[in-house]
Structure formats: structure tokens, C-alpha cells
Structure 1
Amino acid sequence: MSLEGINDFPPPPLMAVNALGYDVTKDLRTADEDRVSSGSSITSSYDDVEEKGVDVVNGPPPNLPAFLTPAYNALKAMQRFLGFHKAYNIPLWIIFGGAMTAFCISRMPYYNKTFMLDHIGLQNWYWFHQQPYRFGLYFHLATALPGGVLVPLQFVPAIRYKNIMIHRIIGYYCIFMIVLACAGGFTLARRVLSGDPAGDMHTIILGATPLFELLMAWINIKRLQIDEHRKWMLRAWCTMGAIVSTRLIFQVAPKYIDKVGTYSITYSCDNVLFDAGGNSTLLGELFPACLTAPDLKTFFVAVPANSRTGGILGYVATLRLSYTLCNWLKLTENLIAAGFISVRAEVYIHLTAAESERLRIVSYHKQLERGFKHPGSAGITADRIGDAHWTPPVVGALPNRV
């Protein structure tokens, strides 16, 4: 089907209904208005429709107190500026996108070597002052933080609808930086705080999961399956946002371990000596067996996780033991609450089913224009293997954006 063939379709009625029953109450612009010079795909007539039927600057509700009217008007003005068509998207974007951006900006002083060594914590010094772990840490920070700062822009409708090229450039940049950041994180996996296999495996899974989700998003957008691309991108960035909730939990977990006071963790004598500032006399007083050890790096002692009796070593032990505990608590948060990880993404995806359907119709028309074998399901969609097969919409029918 050529671009000129679009004009052969009968004009869409003012009131059309697609396969899932979404009413369309607005006129679509003609293909001549929306045709692009490259002629490679249909753009505006399906994926950049003027939302004439959606007024995002409605007057305040009649029962709204007068003192809240300025705030309501400001919210609506921001909603129109950013391009959102549902008011609940604004606080979601500010809270979760703002948390990601604020966290990345707050960590940028770590680019300074002196600042990082002063603030990274004694529990990390022993391994991160050695190679390749020091390079892995620098590389991880240098790539993850710039990518994380720009991510919220990918979820601003005004950018996606009015300048898709900016959306694509930022998207590829963020994906490239996160892939590099995960590579740097994998070099640190063996030397996470806990020092046990559970902590090591968590670090690997935490890096591999968003890489898989980004791969699925990339495959779907290459197949013009825009609705699935949106879902996988939401999942990927929510998974990476898990680091924020982990940091919040990490503020509490060491206090719990320290209060119990009966936990302990194994240290090599060389690690104890390093944390003790190289004071071999103190090492001999605390752990006499280390003085007769044939190799300080391979001889291990149990350090109590109790700052009251163990001093600075006991405090560091509480921090190291907290790592795996925090990750388990974060997993529990993911399973039972709408936290920062996939539950939040899945809840949002299910709440915006109309937007997913709209994007699937956009995908259908784009894939039909390109001559794909299964338009509407050319990407990785559930109906390719399941029993709920998707039905193409009425020509021209397009649900409202959310």
C-alpha cells in the first residue's frame, strides 16, 4: 500500500468504534497534511493526532475550595505544557521521574576522586581501592548517572508527539549508557558488601533484568510494535529505579542489625588490618590468630556486627550484613506494594489500557504500511502464542490518548 493509497480509504466518520469498543469523537487530519518528505512511514495521521477533543485546561471543579484554585490552574498549565492528557500522570511523573533525576544528580559529586573516597564508606574501601574494582566503580558511575538524569524526558508526551527525533536520540543515548553502566556493575558483583553468593547473584540479576527489558523494548520498536515498546521501557526504568528504594531501606537495616547485636560476618585478616588503619597492634589485640596466619588474605576471622562492642569494625560489619537484607526487603516491597520496581510499572500499564490500545492501532497502521506479515502483532506480543488474538480496528478509528 503506497502513501497515496491512504486517500482511497473512505473518510472516517465522526463517531467510529474500534474492535475493543473505544469511541472516537474527533476528526483525523488528512494524509496530505501529515505526509512526511521521506515517505517511509505514516506519521501524523495515526501517531500525532491533534487532540482537539481533549481539553486539558478545563475549569476547576465546582466543589474545589477557592484557595486551591491557583494550584489547580498551575497543575493544568503544566499538564498542557508537558502534553499529558490525564491529571494523574503529572504527580506520577514528578514523584518517580524526579526521584530518579534527583538521585543521579546527588551522586555526581562522586566523580571527584577525593569526594568519593571520603563518602563512599569504610565498608567499601578495602576492595574499591584495588583494581579492577576501582575502575569498575568509576566506569559504572560515569555512565549510569548521565543516562539516569535524562530518562524522565522519555516519558514527556510533548517531546514524543512533537519532536520524535529528540525522543529517539535521548532513548538511544540512555540505552547505550545503561548497557555500559551494567558492564561496570558486573565487575563489582563479586565484591559487593555482603561478600556472599546471595549478594553477588542479586547484583548480577539486578543488572541483567533491565538489559533484557531494554532488549525487548528495542526489538519491539524495530518491529514498530509501539505499545509493547512502551510497556517494556516502563518495566526497564522502574527496575533500575530499584536502587533508590534500596538506599532508603539501607538507612534503617544497619540499625536493626546493630540493635540485635548477635550477628557476625567473616573478614580476612588483611581486610581487618585495612579497616583498622594498618594498626597491627590493634589487630593482634582483637584477633590474635591473625598474627600467626601464614597469609593474611586467605585467613578469615568472625567480626561481630555490633558497634557497641566491636567499635568501627563492628559498625562496618553491620553495613556489610545489611546489603543482602536490604535487597530481600526490596523484593518483598516489590511483591506486596506498588514500589519502585515492576509492580509500579505493571499497575500503571494496566491503568492505561486505552493508551496501550491506541499505540497498538498506531503500530497496526505503521506495520501495514511497511508490509509486515502480521500487522498489529509484528512485534513480541502475547497473542502470537496465546488464544486472545487481537482484531484490527476499523479504518481510521483511534482512541483518545491518556
Structure 2
Amino acid sequence: MRVFIHTGEVSGDLQGSFLVEGLKRQASERGLAIEISAMGGQRMAAAGATLIGDTVPVSSIGLFEALPHAAAALKLQRRAKQHLTETPPDVVVLIDYMGPNVGIGKFIRRHYPTTPIAYFIAPQLWVWAMMPGDTDKILSIADRVLAIFPGEAKYYRDRGGQVTWVGHPLLDKFADYSPVEAKRDARQQLAIAADATVITLLPASRPQELTYVVPIIFTAAQQLQAQLPQLQFLVPLARDTFREPLEQAMQAYGLKGQVVAQEDQLLAIAAADLAITKSGTANLEIALMDVPQVVMYRLNRITAWVAEFLLKFSADYVSPVNLVNMESIVPEFVQWDATPDAISQVALNLLNDPDQRQKMLEGYKTMRQQLGTVGVCDRTANEILDLAISKANNLTEYSA
């Protein structure tokens, strides 16, 4: 069986790697030979997918932010379509990454109309639909939506989609996680004293965030260090190419601490008393590791102005932690509200007030209960394999 997976972003690559492992595991249990090709990143390749192209370096948010990557992104799209033409898959899996995935979905519908398409982690239109018709585009290409949030499942089902709620794949990753043991072990491995006060900063997984997010988070960190000189900062890399600019930024802002290798990101989170992070999938990892956090995000001012005043974009929440139950569990500071003063003050409160930290941890517990049950990747893999087999059986009956 040939499976083709198409995604982008660091988070898509992470979720895709879990899926590749699940597909291989479930295909083996069924006695199926399976070939998985993908447009994604190095995590998916390490999990066993044949990487046709690396889409992670061209990921961005916003029209103006995407322009520098447009030529490279189009080249990758052409490479994906060429691969699909030369090696037609038995099933296609799209993960998040709306614009490019809609393009691939339309290509499959046009050239291989009987090939089933599963959309795993559909775009969060149930939270913010910026353009009329976006939902119809998703449902027109997806035979099955494999939803990770309950709200996502309801949204697409209410609009006529064939939906299965599988739960969130990060549940599998942290099924047997012990925060106390993990913190102790992480500090030993990173050579950090048990009684040190540690803040982990997660500012960038896209190039644009080096420009718009890093200065805000690092200035907030600078302010915290002025009040608490004993602080140590850890900055784990989302991409190895970010090491030099982040090390230079730490030096420029006078922050005491270290940049941590990409493969040690979870150690850096586990070792922390608090995380200050951009919004994204990492927020859920931090929550599932029981580390208090402050979340922020900033875009190019022009992009933000267009989104807010021309497209009338608004969202109650942006962090996945708050989106699960649509309630405020972690503090968010977005665009105009994302100032170093606001972020540092809330971070300081969380460090100093045990009651605030405990309230957030209780919120994490409630959120975790709404993410489903362990076994997400295997359930998702079985849905995809069943979809391919069902379509193949229907074709065989039709031909007969």
C-alpha cells in the first residue's frame, strides 16, 4: 500500500512523524506491505517516510511573510505533483498547512478522483475562518476529517463532513510522563542545579519569528533578569539553523543561560519552572509536561492590520491549550497586547505565586481530559488504512 503525506511547519512534521510510526505499526499488524512518501521534514524522514521535499524551511504565517518563500514553495508543489503523477498513491493524508494542502487536494481530485483523501488535523476554521468558502474547500477534497479536538470534530460534522474524532497525538507521547522525575533528570543532563530558577524561552520555529517574536520575548526575559538576577534561561532550538541568531540575541540582551540543541527541546521544557513561548503546538507539549507558561504572538504590523481591519479577523483564543475547552487556562498576549512589560509581569506573578501556578496546573488537568485517550496514532493509522482498503474494495466491485 502506498501512502502519501503532505504537510509543512515544524508542528506538522512532528505530528507527521507520529503518524508514520503508527501507520508502519498498524500495517505490520495487518500483514500489509506499506510505502510512505511525504512532503514534510526531517522528523518524518527519521520515522521512516521517504522525503520527497522538505517543506519546513518555507513555512510562514501571513501574506507578506510568505512572499520571500513563494518561489521555493511553488517548486515544492511542482515536485509533489510530479511524484504523485509518477507514483500514484492508494491514499493521501493532508496535515494542517491549509493553502498548499488545498492545492494538493484539488490536484488529486482532478487527476485521481477515486484516490481517498484523509485530512488529519484540519485547519482551525472552527476557531477563525478568515476567508468565506474556506470550510467548503476543505470538505470538497476530504473524504474523511480525522479531528484532534472535540470542537474541530463538531464544526466539520455540522457542516456535512465525514468526521472521526481520534484525539490528540501528543497524548501518546506523554502517556507515562512523570513531571517530578522528568524535571530532576532534565536538570542533571543539562547540568543545572536542583534549586535553580529556570525559565525556558521558545520564541521561533519560523524565520519571521526571529524578527517579530524574539525581540519581545527576549526583552521580557531581560526585564525578569533585572528583578531576579539568579534566573537561568534555556532556549531550545526548533530548527538547527536558528542557533547562531539565537545565540547572538542572547548575548545582545545579556541573558544568562544557554541555547539547547533541537533534540533536547523536551529536556529544556522539563527542566523549567516556567516557559515563555510563542503560540503553537509546543503550548500543548508544555501543558502535558505540567510546566506553567505565558503565551504570545506577533506578526508583521501590516499583516496584522490587514487581518484585523480589512478581513475582520478575530479569535477568542490562539493557544491550543485554551482552544480545547475554549477557556482561558494560560495567559495570551497577541499582537498589540504582546508587550515585554505585560509578559514579564505575568511571568513574575507565576513564579512568585504558588496559587496561580496550581490553578494553571488544574486547568491543564481539565484540558487533558478533553483530548481523548491514549492510542491516538494507532486509531488514526487504522482510519487511514481502512479508508484506502474500503475505496479499493469499492473499485473492485465496480469493475466486476
TM-score normalised by the chain length of structure 1: 0.25
TM-score normalised by the chain length of structure 2: 0.25
- More strand per residue: 2
- More helix per residue: 1
Larger CA Rg, structure 1 vs 2: 1
Instruction: Report 1 or 2 for greater relative contact order, CA contacts < 8 Å, sequence distance ≥ 6.
Output: 1
